[in-house]
């Protein structure tokens, strides 16, 4: 889609049309925001603390990995934490609220790929994932069903209906953030004044930029929001997972040539992580974000990879066809990546997360 947009932008009429649509989109978002801020549209609050994780741009920022870290730390600290989310691109939306928990029955089609990934990673900690387009209803369900005393809202920065105690904004340092414009001519979900709502700003993928570029991004952010803390983070590969057995595999187990398959917001980040491990990518199949893979696509991949090791992401693996083992056979691995904060970022992050949870 971005390639198509770039082709349209390169023509005078195309650029003018996209610019006009961006004005309409920006006006619509700002109007909706004002209606909530002035009280014309009602905001709802929950009787527990709510921390929102989100971004103001499309594409991958590493938000989900950061939510996982926050949920894990809160659980270790003794909180009954729950995660609420919309469940983007759910195939089956018969139920308003879907609960993902090891003690509950649920249909994967009703959850969405990100919710399934969160559930798989956090199920041993008994952290419930509540999916609903109505995040207020999802939060009430978490409190009623699991006695949750702190709620993490995943991807809710532009969801103004639910009040929150903290806004954590993630910005991908590897993008041209300073020159970015509003959808559809650019990738911003709202204008940059939205940065003012952030209590904490997390620069992600800092491993892909130099120190001068990071300083430049920080300066542009401070001009809009001088009060928010800004911390830096990196995405660091931890291990591989054998897709057939789900067993952890050391990073040095796989060597040489591989093929990469992904359908995420920032595929280049995934591919750069593979290259950083000394792997040579023979071919990279890139699909749209949240893409559900088909049998035909997997047959094509299998016919072209010639038994070379295939590596994908955890999020993409949750969208594999049910019979994927018959279609692409063996030598399929998942790269597991964790967020690592730089300098004193981890302490600042935890202080922000736990501060508003004290006393609940």
Q: What pLDDT score does 94 carry?
A: 65
Least Cα distance to 290 among 271, 270, 318 occurs for 318
pLDDT digits (tens, 9 = 90+) for 84-131: 999 877 776 767 899 999 989 888 888 888 898 899 999 999 999 999
DSSP string of 128-178, one letter each residue: -EEE-S-HHHHHHHHHHHH--SEEEEET-TT-TTB--SEEEEEEETTS-GG
Which three-class secondary structure state does DSSP give residue 280? strand
Q: Cα 253 to chain center, whole Å?
A: 28
335 shares its domain with 203: no
83 vs 188: CA distance, rounded Å:
25
262 shares its domain with 208: no
129 shares its domain with 54: yes
15 shares its domain with 151: no
Determine what percent of the chain falls in helix, strand and coil, rounding each to the nearest 5: 40, 25, 35
Domain region containing 8: 2-37
What share of the chain in percent tops pLDDT 90?
Answer: 71
Average pLDDT, integer, range 33-51:
96
Least Cα distance to 157 among 132, 183, 135 occurs for 135
333 shares its domain with 272: yes
| Banded pLDDT at 357 (limits 50, 70, 90) | very low
Q: What pLDDT score does 304 carry?
A: 92
pLDDT > 80? residue 317: yes
152 shares its domain with 125: yes
345 shares its domain with 207: yes
Look up residue 109 and give its DSSP letter: G
Least Cα distance to 152 among 58, 59, 49 occurs for 49
240 vs 337: CA distance, rounded Å:
9
168 shares its domain with 241: no
List of residues 6+ apart from 52 with CB closer than 8 A: 153, 156, 157, 159, 164, 166, 167, 168
79 shares its domain with 64: yes
Number of domains in the chain: 3
pLDDT > 80? residue 305: yes
pLDDT digits (tens, 9 = 90+) for 216-252: 999 999 999 999 999 999 989 999 999 999 999 999 9
Residue 360 counted as domain residue = no
11 shares its domain with 89: no
Average pLDDT, integer, range 270-276:
94
138 shares its domain with 14: no
Residue 18 counted as domain residue = yes
Contact 28, 339 (CB under 8 A): no
pLDDT > 70? residue 358: no
Q: What pLDDT score does 143 carry?
A: 98
Q: What pLDDT score does 360 carry?
A: 39
pLDDT digits (tens, 9 = 90+) for 3-34: 778 788 888 899 999 999 999 999 999 999 99
245 shares its domain with 326: yes
83 vs 266: CA distance, rounded Å:
23
* CATH number of the domain enclosing 190: 3.40.50.300
* CATH number of the domain enclosing 279: 3.40.50
pLDDT > 70? residue 260: yes
Residue 108 counted as domain residue = yes
Q: Can the peptide bond before residue 142 be classed as cis, meaning omega within 30 degrees of 0?
A: no
Q: What is the rounded end-to-end Cα distance, in angstroms, of the chain?
A: 45
Neighbours of 117 (CB within 10 A): 22
**The two structure tokens encoding residue 198:** 């952030």
- Sign of the Cα pseudo-torsion (113, 114, 117, 122, in order): negative
Its pTM stands at: 0.88
Contact 71, 127 (CB under 8 A): yes
| Banded pLDDT at 359 (limits 50, 70, 90) | very low
Residue 42 counted as domain residue = no
Radius of gyration of the chain (CA): 21
């Amino acid at each position: 889609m971005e390639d198509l947009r770039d082709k349209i932008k390169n023509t005078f009429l195309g650029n003018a049309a996209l610019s006009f649509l961006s004005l309409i989109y920006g006006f619509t978002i700002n109007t909706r925001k004002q209606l909530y801020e002035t009280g014309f549209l009602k905001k709802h609050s929950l009787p527990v603390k709510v921390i929102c994780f989100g971004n103001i741009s499309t594409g991958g920022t590493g938000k989900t990995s950061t939510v996982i870290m926050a949920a894990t730390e809160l659980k270790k600290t003794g909180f009954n934490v729950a995660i609420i989310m919309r469940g983007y691109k759910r195939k089956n939306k018969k139920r308003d609220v879907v609960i993902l928990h090891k003690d509950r029955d649920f249909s994967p089609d009703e959850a969405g790929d990100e919710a399934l990934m969160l559930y798989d990673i956090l199920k041993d900690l008994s952290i419930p994932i509540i999916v609903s387009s109505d995040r207020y209803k999802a939060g009430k369900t978490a409190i009623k069903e699991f006695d949750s005393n702190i709620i993490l809202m995943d991807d809710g920065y532009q969801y103004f209906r639910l009040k929150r105690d903290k806004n954590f904004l993630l910005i991908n340092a590897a993008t041209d953030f300073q020159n970015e414009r509003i959808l559809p001519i650019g990738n911003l979900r709202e204008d940059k004044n939205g940065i003012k709502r952030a209590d904490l700003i997390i620069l992600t993928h800092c491993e892909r930029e130099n120190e001068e570029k990071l300083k430049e991004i920080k300066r542009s952010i401070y001009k809009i929001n001088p009060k928010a803390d800004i911390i830096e983070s990196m995405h660091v590969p931890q291990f591989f997972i054998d897709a057939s057995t789900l067993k952890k595999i050391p990073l040095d187990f796989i060597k040489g040539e591989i093929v990469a398959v992904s359908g995420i917001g920032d595929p280049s980040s995934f591919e750069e992580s593979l290259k950083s491990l000394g792997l040579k990518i023979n071919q990279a199949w890139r699909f749209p974000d949240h893409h559900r893979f088909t049998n035909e696509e997997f047959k094509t991949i299998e016919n072209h990879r010639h038994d070379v090791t295939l590596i994908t992401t955890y999020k993409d693996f949750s969208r594999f066809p049910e019979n994927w083992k018959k279609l692409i056979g063996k030598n399929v691995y998942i790269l597991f990546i964790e967020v690592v904060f730089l300098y004193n970022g981890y302490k600042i992050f935890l202080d922000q997360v736990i501060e508003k949870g004290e006393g609940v």
